[in-house]
Amino acid sequence: MYLQTTIIAIVMVATFALASWKLKSPEISMVITAIVGALVGGFGFPSRLLVEGMFTYFDVGLIFLTASIFINIYSETGAMNALVRWIVKQFYDKKWLMLILLGILLIIPGALTGAGSVSIFVVGGLVSSVMNYMGFSKKRIAAFIYLFAMLAAVAPPINLWAMLMAAQANMPYVGFGVVLIVPIIIIAAFTILYTGLSKTPGRKTKTEILEELPQPPAGMNWFKILVPFGVLLVLILLMQYATFYIPVLGLPLTFMICAFISMGMDKDRWKVKKWYNVMVKTVDQVFPLLGTVISVGVLVNIMTATGVKGLLAITFITLPMAFIYITALIFAPFAQGSLSYGSAIILGTPIIFLFNSMGLNVTVTAAALSFLFPLGDCLPPSRIVGRLTIETVGYEGSYMSFLKAIAIPWLFMGAIGLLMLLFPNQLRFLVVY
């Protein structure tokens, strides 16, 4: 059985590599890999498994679509340009303060929703424009946005990896606040320093930038700029803290409500054709991501059915402890790249049980793992947040050069996560109930 599953895994890896090389499309390569895996695993043509898999991340896809529609409609009203103008006017000469503010801005949406991709969708474009005008290179902008999106996903109150591991291991999701926030501050400070200390040869004067930036449309005011984001924040907070008193909206509908509010704020609110065109363009823009999440779902479902997913987990946790520590920075991110949040359940929970049996603090361990898993959101096969960052920033280099660009802060975040994993008992003072 072990040998058979290993053979399936090898065939799937080879198929994925070959399909990616020949077809140049990660989406179709994942589906072909899934079909070949099922055929080799003796499932025949797996129609039912394929359809089931398509829906694994369907809701995530809907969030991508609706968040993009909201932010594109918001930009179309001219509010985004007005906001960028204001930020440049106020903070252009205060680089460090500006970077701290942009970092906080990136963390809020992800912290409230548990998804770094939401941060990039909602404020990534704004942050990218401002940093562009500040003269930072595309590489530094990509590294800044990607790292803060990761930190946003890890930040409390919603850390999906820690929540999933806690639920699976029968431990309460409490005491994670400080143990998550302290490392986040350290990593954020490092990322801000790494970005801020870089050279900015393309930096223009404030007057030049303000001349370049489009003028806000007539009638644009603070009310119109802030209300769509205000409503978004209020609805997300209500979903968190007044769950039993409001109907279940869900993030996609929340984004659509805010998109309609943005439309309502525009003087051309009744020009249906204009908004329809924005939506058509958005669907085209988001399509590669939508295709990716649906294809990843198919691949993960077949990996589960054939036992490849379990094989990866068992292989990892049966390694000697020293090897677990040494390979954690490779296994955990790659598990995230192929299994998405499933990595927390497949890999995270067995590690929690293993560490618990050795008398190590499980809250710190779960927090540590939740810093290691998100590192894989830029790794194949899914590369969801990585690709999203590239599209948002308008990064034109190869994907490998993007990985190199984010390498230093990425490794720093990994090192912090690894240190927490190595010394959970020494860091138990950070677990505050």
Partner 1 sequence: MLVFFDTIIYYLYFIMTAFFAFLLLRNLFKREKRKALVYDIVYSYVIITFILRVIGIK
DSSP string, 327-387: HHHHHHHHHHHHHTTHHIIIIIHHHHHHHHHTT--HHHHHHHHHHHGGGGGGSTTT-HHHH
CB of 138 to partner 1, least distance (A): 21
Angstrom distances, CA of residue 31 to CA of 36, 283, 310: 9, 21, 20
Nearer to partner 1, 251 or 413 (CB): 251
Q: How far is CA 213 from CA 132, 209, 267, in A?
A: 12, 6, 21
Minimum CB distance to partner 1, residue 346 (Å): 23
Cα 57 from Cα 134, distance rounded (Å): 37
Shortest Å distance, C-beta 356 to partner 1? 37
Tokens of 118: 């939401």
C-beta closer to partner 1: residue 295 or 338: 295
Of 31 and 88, CB closest to partner 1: 31
Owner of token pair 């990064």: 395
Smallest gap from residue 284 Cβ to partner 1 (A): 5
CA torsion angle 17 23 25 28 (round to 10) = -80
From the list 226, 188, 200, the residue with the least C-alpha distance to 74 is: 226
CB of 279 to partner 1, least distance (A): 6
Q: Which is nearer to partner 1, 55 or 86 (CB)?
A: 55
Query: Closest CB to partner 1 among 177 and 250?
Result: 250
Between 37 and 110, CB nearer to partner 1: 37
Shortest Cβ 242–partner 1 spacing (Å): 11
Q: Which residues bind partner 1 (CB under 8 A)?
A: 23-25, 27-28, 31, 51-52, 54-55, 58, 62, 65-66, 246-250, 252-253, 256, 279-280, 283-284, 287-288, 290-291, 294-295
Of residues 225 and 256, the one with the C-beta less far from partner 1: 256
CB of 63 to partner 1, least distance (A): 12
Q: Using alpha carbons, select from 208, 212, 187, 199 the residue that is nearest to residue 81.
A: 212
Give the Å distances, CA to CA, from 408 to 27, 59, 79, 125, 150. 28, 33, 34, 23, 14
Distance CA 425, CA 200 (A): 43
